[in-house]
Structure 1
């Protein structure tokens, strides 16, 4: 069994987890590539979201006119539609980057419209807490993986919880929740996506192949965005 001769984190040869069979330098390079893509996605999301929030006519167009509402619906479903070809072409360069750009920008517009009618204080609170949680969970997962902990067992539980969450959100369209119910829903959703951050980070460290950098970035990006939206739901309900 191959063992690294030197534990040098800066040099990229730090062993990521026990019984590691691959060259740590390659895995560290892969991880840096994925986080670079996520950073660009988050930057694009912040820029597009800030434009939508600050330039009010955009939000009013999407919410006040019939044509705008139709465009809003198309904008919401676009990321889900793009996910299908993105999954199929996620290893095909440069198509994968083109599809990733469409996916990110369309989702960023949807997030911007969600934030357009939310107070700046609530948005700032959600951003700060999301940043703190993501950094903490990421550091913890790397620390735990180094000590031999594995989080693959979380997959079935998180998937089941996500299905329940989706069904529950569809039910509340017809039977709206009260303020307390919305806060509980947001808290439960936040916990689920915290679990997904740990699970997908563990997969990034151990299981994704080097050609799956796009899909790894998409998974973690969605975890971060969904955590932000869940916390936004909680703070918005508390602020109302």
Structure 2
């Protein structure tokens, strides 16, 4: 993260974020971007802490494994919290309280996924995710500065996401084999990598300055889902092997 910050301040802030942006607006935009990434870093730190506790503290792990209803509640709560997040995303401090609850619930589900996976695979998935996020984020900022636009990806990514959701429901009734699971995980990773580019482009060009909560939620979900899909691929490859 320190390296990315150095690149941002040194290289990317020379000139404007994208062609046609005034220097005054450019300074305001960079302030907004720093705020969003600050919130995102806090979310990722909270996720690391909560998921680590879920994995390492046996009573919590055993409770979640023995009570599928509690785990389902943690899984469904983020979807429920999206509505009040939308309504109060400009109302401080309610927006940050809701964001904290949203992040914590998702962090528990990530912790459960990691607890059911070999530690070596979790570490590999974490390293790969970090490399992909750093590479695609840097590329998107560079591409925006060169005048490239990624808004056209929206309809394709949304359609792909619907297909992934339908495939996920199908898997509940017709479980996939390890190879199929790895293939769908790879497709999912590609979709969320695309969303990371798309949402970073939105952050640079189109989000208004009061949408910092929504911008951080979008990027957080992209990174989290990318990690889970890479984890799914690696688990499928191990099972197949």
Relative to the length of structure 1, the TM-score reads 0.93
CA distance in 1, matches of 2:36, 2:71: 30
What is the aligned residue count? 230
Which deviations, in whole Å up to 9, do the C-alpha atoms of 1:96-153 show, x marking residues without a partner? Answer: 1010000001110111011111110010000000000000000000000000000000
CA distance in 2, matches of 1:29, 1:56: 42
State the partner residue of 2:4: none
- Does 2:233 match 1:234? yes
Mean Cα displacement is larger for which, 15-24 or 203-212? 15-24
Question: Is 1:166 the counterpart of 2:146 in the alignment?
Answer: no
Contact conserved, 1:56 with 1:116, CA < 8 A, in 2? no
Structure 1 stretches lacking a partner, 5+ long: 1-7
Deviation per residue, 1:50-86 (Å, 9 max, x gap): 111111221111112xxx2221111110111001110
The range that moved more, 146-155 or 15-24, is 15-24
Matches within 5 A, 1:1-240: 9-10=9-10, 14-21=15-22, 23-64=25-66, 68-240=67-239
- The answer (yes or no) to whether the contact 1:13–1:25 under 8 Å persists in 2 is no
Distance 2:71 2:172 in 1: 17
Q: Distance in 2 between matches of 1:13 and 1:26?
A: 14
- Flag structure 2 segments of 5+ consecutive residues without an equivalent: 1-7
Output the TM-score relative to the length of structure 2.
0.92
Stretches of 4+ aligned residues off by more than 4 angstroms: 8-13
Partners of 1:70 and 1:175 lie apart in 2 by 21
Displacement after TM superposition at 1:12 (Å): 5.3
Give distance in 1, aligned partners of 2:68 and 2:176. 24
RMSD over equivalenced CA pairs, Å: 1.5
Note the alpha carbon deviations across 1:175-209, whole angstroms, 9 max, x for none: 11111100000000000000000000000000001
Name the CA distance, whole Å, in 2 between partners of 1:9 and 1:229.
31
Task: Give the match's secondary structure for 1:135.
Answer: helix
| Structure 1 residues 29 and 123, CA gap change in structure 2 (3 angstroms) | same
Question: Within 2, Cα distance between the matches of 1:158 and 1:117?
Answer: 29
Q: What is the alpha-carbon distance in structure 2 between the residues aligned to residue 188 and residue 144 of structure 1?
A: 24
Q: Distance in 2 between matches of 1:100 and 1:181?
A: 34
